[in-house]
Amino acid sequence: MPKRGKKQQGKNPKRRRSGQAPSQVTQSESASGSAEVQELEDVRGQPAVWANDRPSLCETLPWFQSHQGGVYQTEKVCHGFFLGGHGGPRDYIDDEIVITRVGGDCESNGNGAVTQMNDQSWNTRAVQSLRASQESGVAVGLIISKGNQPIKRKLPHELNVMGWFRVVEIWFENTNGKSGARVRFQKLDLEEPSWWAKRGSEDPPPISQRNLRLPESKICKGCLRSSKLVYEQGWMCLQPKSSCFLSGLLDDGTAPTDLTYDVNFLSSREPPDDHIKPQFSLVPNTLAELERFPDAWSQKFASRGVVCPECHKCIARRYWKGWMCHDPLDDNVITESAAPCQWKKILDVPTIPLKAVQEDLNVRSINKPVDKEWRTHIQQEAHSTDAYHRMTYIIGDVGKIVHFRANESILNKPKGPDDLFQRLQQADLGLYRYSINTRAGTRQLTKSFAANFGMPYKYVLSVRSKGFDEAPAEVILGLDRLKWATDQVAGKEASGPNELLALGYLEKMAMGFHDDGEDSLGPTIATLSLGANATMKFRLKDQYFRGSSRSHVLVADDAVLPGCENYEERKELKAQRNAGELTKDEYSKHRMRLAKAVTKNEGSSLITLDLRHGDMVVMHGSLLQKYYEHSVESKGKLRFALTSRHVKPEMVEEGDRVKGEYNPAPDQIYNGE
């Protein structure tokens, strides 16, 4: 901030000029040329890695996978730290030092400015992780966003990796009446020029020519703990949660409101320490690993992003077969130069045999799919044929779930599950990972690759849809199996599927809880699982589970369904209300009492299905989608799920309806064997 710089300079010009590090020169120069609006300076270099958006960054850098917040930690140690836009008062960045608030416990006002909401202390998670990095000698990677103000430089990209730093100081100050943690980072390699230094600036002096000084510190008489001399105004105790916090300077024990940094504190440097090291490589070497192990294309590490070898941008793996630096399908692409980088990597994807993705071929791990608390509420029916062991789970009037468990005898039939699994790996399905808004309010890529065929279907994903006439044969073969299963459950007279969503899951990919209900969809949804095993879970949606929203707004009609909290009491209250024994107000009052007493964070699963290669699941009943949600988690290195629905033609643009028409060839028709 120019004002403060000017004030400091006027107050103590000699002291200021005596600073040793090159950053000091930069700071005083920019301060002397201060105006109301600060001109941003050009930088001298380019970051080793950068990204256009947070999902690409988090998908690519192993040391920063936080889609939210400023700190990335594993096992309570911080490895990456994000410097956003505004920063707070007294945030400071020069060529070697970064001082900022630790973050967390804050609320944003929407303009990027943040207000501290809770006291922070040494027990705050983010503070603990930074302290652990400091104490165990783990370097922290810093990322800075283009809008960052304290740096006062024209940053080249939206998100820029600065490099490795070390945590040298953590202390606390008063932020809007709360104790807020602050951290000071020092660049790990002081001899390497910083790319964000001012253009034309000199290289940093070698360590041997520097006068390394540590900041002064003093022991507090109150708590007997040491604090550094951080502020120009004088020494204070900077230990939070002690009665002497911020004492030592003013007689009344409070801190001055307008603090500025002590110049020695800013110019001091910790001497180099070879024991401090990063635990990751700054730039991941995924591409080199894949050169060595081409069969590993479906494994976890290969599903991560790569850094473009030409322009150093983080590129998430959004394509089934690889990475494209300039992604023509990305709707959120930032306006790039007229000649965007053309680098891409298309993998060979050698076919992975079925046995390589299934660890326990013959064991069914879930013997009792219905949660024991609810077994009496869910009617179960079993029916076996040569091809399938069919299990039906009926949830009262809401609907039913039918699990067609494939017998081994059908798996290797021509055009059967084994065949489809092999062929789908090579088919040109156009599988792509779309970007979605999560419940946490962040933007992330789906944890599966998707392609839609038949009627356009816009729900969880806005997916471009190809007509069935353009679909690969594998899609039609899968669709006809699903049509057969749908007919078995809903009857042949019901509207059959006219849409198919193909999903590809690499290792550790999953589909979180969601429902498949929408006004434009028919009541029956069928899915075919191929490849690795998966677990499919059903549970009540949260508001029906607790009877209210999380902020205790009662649901309009309390359905009281299996899987809900306080089931018996809610059922009894509902009966009393229906019999006129309770007034509307009394009923609401009782319901509110029960809803507020719910302590569980989320409902447990009512039904858990063990999906095997060749299995199909049919969900039937629109109320099932209204009240319940489901999730699918793949258990192996490669899995496909083909899901079919009936999209009501009247809800689709007339010109698009033809896409849902499908006429299988005689040898594509599935007869249930």
- For residue 202, what are the contacts with CB-CB under 8 A and spacing of at least 6? 22
Question: Which of the stretches 335-343, 351-359, 557-565, 590-598 binds Zn ion when contact is defined by CB under 5 A?
Answer: 335-343
Residue 220 found at the interface with Zn ion (CB under 5 A): yes
In angstroms, what is the minimal distance from the CB of 496 to Zn ion?
45
Q: Give residues 313-332 in contact with Zn ion (rule: CB under 5 A).
A: 325
Question: Which of the stretches 56-64, 235-243, 251-259, 428-436 binds Zn ion when contact is defined by CB under 5 A?
Answer: 235-243
**Annotation-wise, does 92 bind a ligand?**
no
Residue 237 found at the interface with Zn ion (CB under 5 A): yes
In angstroms, what is the minimal distance from the CB of 423 to Zn ion?
33
- For residue 597, what are the contacts with CB-CB under 8 A and spacing of at least 6? 566
**Residue 341 or residue 460: which is nearer to Zn ion going by CB?**
341
The residue within the footprint of Zn ion, chosen from 341, 554, 555, 592 (CB under 5 A), is: 341
In angstroms, what is the minimal distance from the CB of 18 to Zn ion?
31
In angstroms, what is the minimal distance from the CB of 240 to Zn ion?
10
Q: Helical H runs in 330-472?
A: 354-357, 408-411, 417-426
Sequence length of the chain is 673
Phi, psi for 106 (deg, rounded to 5): -125, 155
Residue 236 found at the interface with Zn ion (CB under 5 A): no
**Residue 191 or residue 310: which is nearer to Zn ion going by CB?**
310
**Residue 5 or residue 240: which is nearer to Zn ion going by CB?**
240
Question: Which of the stretches 108-116, 238-246, 266-274, 515-523 binds Zn ion when contact is defined by CB under 5 A?
Answer: 238-246
The residue within the footprint of Zn ion, chosen from 223, 411, 460, 555 (CB under 5 A), is: 223
In angstroms, what is the minimal distance from the CB of 507 to Zn ion?
26
Measure the CA–CA gap between 214 and 271, rounded to whole angstroms: 9
Separation in Å, CA 584 to CA 22, 366, 440: 73, 43, 34
**Residue 307 or residue 611: which is nearer to Zn ion going by CB?**
307
Name residue 314's amino acid.
C
**Residue 128 or residue 242: which is nearer to Zn ion going by CB?**
242
**Annotation-wise, does 86 bind a ligand?**
no
Say if strands 443-445 and 510-514 run parallel, antiparallel, or are unpaired. unpaired
Residue 450 found at the interface with Zn ion (CB under 5 A): no
**Residue 336 or residue 581: which is nearer to Zn ion going by CB?**
336
Q: Quick one: which of 601, 585, 605 has its CA closest to 593?
A: 585
In angstroms, what is the minimal distance from the CB of 299 to Zn ion?
24
Q: How many CB atoms lie within 10 A of CB 350?
A: 12
Separation in Å, CA 329 to CA 72, 324, 325, 505: 29, 10, 11, 19
Residue 197 found at the interface with Zn ion (CB under 5 A): no
Measure the CA–CA gap between 421 and 415, rounded to whole angstroms: 10
**Residue 24 or residue 247: which is nearer to Zn ion going by CB?**
247
Q: Quick one: which of 299, 271, 319, 88 has its CA closest to 182?
A: 88
Question: Which of the stretches 64-72, 300-308, 380-388, 418-426 binds Zn ion when contact is defined by CB under 5 A?
Answer: 300-308
In angstroms, what is the minimal distance from the CB of 330 to Zn ion?
13
**Annotation-wise, does 630 bind a ligand?**
yes
- For residue 554, what are the contacts with CB-CB under 8 A and spacing of at least 6? 547, 548, 588, 591, 592, 595
**Residue 84 or residue 248: which is nearer to Zn ion going by CB?**
248
Residue 142 found at the interface with Zn ion (CB under 5 A): no
The residue within the footprint of Zn ion, chosen from 156, 193, 205, 222 (CB under 5 A), is: 222
In angstroms, what is the minimal distance from the CB of 61 to Zn ion?
16
Residue 343 found at the interface with Zn ion (CB under 5 A): yes
β-sheet bridge partners, residue 400: 394, 620
Residue 525 found at the interface with Zn ion (CB under 5 A): no
Burial 462-498 (b: 16+ CB within 10 A, else e): ebebbbbeebbebbbbbbbbbbbbbbbbbeeeeebbb
Residue 357 found at the interface with Zn ion (CB under 5 A): no
Measure the CA–CA gap between 188 and 596, rounded to whole angstroms: 51
In angstroms, what is the minimal distance from the CB of 182 to Zn ion?
17
Q: Angle 567-578/584-596 helices, nearest 10 degrees?
A: 170
**Residue 315 or residue 424: which is nearer to Zn ion going by CB?**
315
The residue within the footprint of Zn ion, chosen from 311, 324, 536, 617 (CB under 5 A), is: 311
State the residue for tokens 């990972």. 433
Residue 308 found at the interface with Zn ion (CB under 5 A): yes
In angstroms, what is the minimal distance from the CB of 55 to Zn ion?
17
Measure the CA–CA gap between 29 and 532, rounded to whole angstroms: 62
Question: Which of the stretches 57-65, 87-95, 217-225, 393-401 binds Zn ion when contact is defined by CB under 5 A?
Answer: 217-225
- For residue 106, what are the contacts with CB-CB under 8 A and spacing of at least 6? 114, 115, 116, 117
Question: Which of the stretches 133-141, 244-252, 457-465, 513-521 binds Zn ion when contact is defined by CB under 5 A?
Answer: 244-252
Residue 310 found at the interface with Zn ion (CB under 5 A): yes
Measure the CA–CA gap between 427 and 472, rounded to whole angstroms: 7
Whether 279 and 63 have beta carbons less than 8 Å apart is answered as yes
**Residue 156 or residue 222: which is nearer to Zn ion going by CB?**
222
Give strand ranges (E) for 432-545. 435-437, 443-445, 449-454, 465-466, 499-506, 510-514, 524-531, 534-540
Q: How many CB atoms lie within 10 A of CB 3?
A: 10
Question: Which of the stretches 182-190, 239-247, 447-455, 618-626 binds Zn ion when contact is defined by CB under 5 A?
Answer: 239-247
Whether 79 and 73 have beta carbons less than 8 Å apart is answered as yes
In angstroms, what is the minimal distance from the CB of 219 to Zn ion?
9
Measure the CA–CA gap between 395 and 378, rounded to whole angstroms: 5
**Residue 243 or residue 257: which is nearer to Zn ion going by CB?**
243
Give the annotated binding-site residues for 2-oxoglutarate: 505, 514, 630
Residues forming the site for Zn ion (CB under 5 A):
220, 222-223, 237, 239, 242, 244, 308, 310-311, 325, 341, 343
Binding site per annotation, positions: 505, 514, 630
